[in-house]
Amino acid sequence: MEISVVRQVLDVNDTMSEENRQYFTQQGVYVFNLMSSPGSGKTTLLTKILMRLKPEIRAAVIVGDVCTTNDADRLAVTGVPVVQITTDDFGGDCHLAAHVIRKAAKELDLTDIDLLIVENIGNLVCPAEFSIGEDSKGVVLSITEGEDKPLKYPLMFRVCDVAILNKMDLVPYLDADPDLAVKNMLTVHPEMPVFKTSATKETGLDEFIDWLKAQMAKKAQAAK
């Protein structure tokens, strides 16, 4: 009973996600859905990446949280348009659903935007099940979370097109092996591109940005 209800909710979401995808494509916007556990460093990472994308790529961000506008405030310093969603009004939803993204996107002037990044709610489980109309999905894992997380939360790593292993600057102080973390990611998703970064020390960012730009170029090429 519970499972069939969940299935229904997911089916509705899939339909709306597909509508979003067509809409964003018509507008010439590439959409990237970024997910992770709480505290993996998504917002710091995005802030640094957004600064490097300018002025070549015109980006915007939709950021989801259960509560607070902290992340939007932090992202706003980059000068890119930011829309904050707080799901507390929707019963504290643990993921961003396609209908929520559609509503949020209405607050952006998409004709001026090449890249829309969605910073999803901190949760390594539920957001993996909800497509939002994105062109690609990425997951950030902080090396402080331990190497085994890809094996314990495989769906997230399986649905993502790219992974970022963040907080690499802390490796010397941890009993954690980044190569094993990457190996575990590739066990659940062979050949997925993985980038090792430190958002605070700004290492590895350009390699990821190059990957993202290549995806955007591919989509633009296909649209011609």
We find the least distance from the C-beta atom of residue 203 to a copy of itself, in angstroms, to be 15
| Closest alpha carbon to 164 in 133, 192, 127, 132 | 192
Decide: is 189 part of the binding site for a copy of itself (CB under 8 A). Answer: no
Decide: is 186 part of the binding site for a copy of itself (CB under 8 A). Answer: no
| Cβ 82 vs Cβ 98: under 8 Å | no
What is the SS3 assignment for 136? Answer: strand
Segments of the chain assigned E as strands:
30-36, 59-65, 82-86, 115-119, 136-142, 162-166, 194-196
SS3 content of the chain, % helix, strand, coil (to 5): 50, 20, 30
Of 28, 39, 56, 220, the one binding a copy of itself (CB under 8 A) is: 39
Nearer to a copy of itself, 67 or 223 (CB): 67
Decide: is 173 part of the binding site for a copy of itself (CB under 8 A). Answer: yes
- C-alpha to C-alpha distance for 45 and 166, rounded to whole angstroms: 8
Decide: is 52 part of the binding site for a copy of itself (CB under 8 A). Answer: no
Encoding tokens for residue 167? 């907080």
Quick note: the x/- pattern for a copy of itself over 58-97, rule CB under 8 A, is -------xxxx-xx------------------xxx-x---
Decide: is 190 part of the binding site for a copy of itself (CB under 8 A). Answer: no
| Closest alpha carbon to 134 in 159, 167, 170 | 159
Of 111, 175, 191, 224, the one binding a copy of itself (CB under 8 A) is: 175
Contact positions vs a copy of itself (CB under 8 A): 2-3, 5-6, 9, 37-39, 65-68, 70-71, 90-92, 94, 121-126, 129, 142, 144-146, 148-149, 151-155, 167, 169-170, 173-175, 200
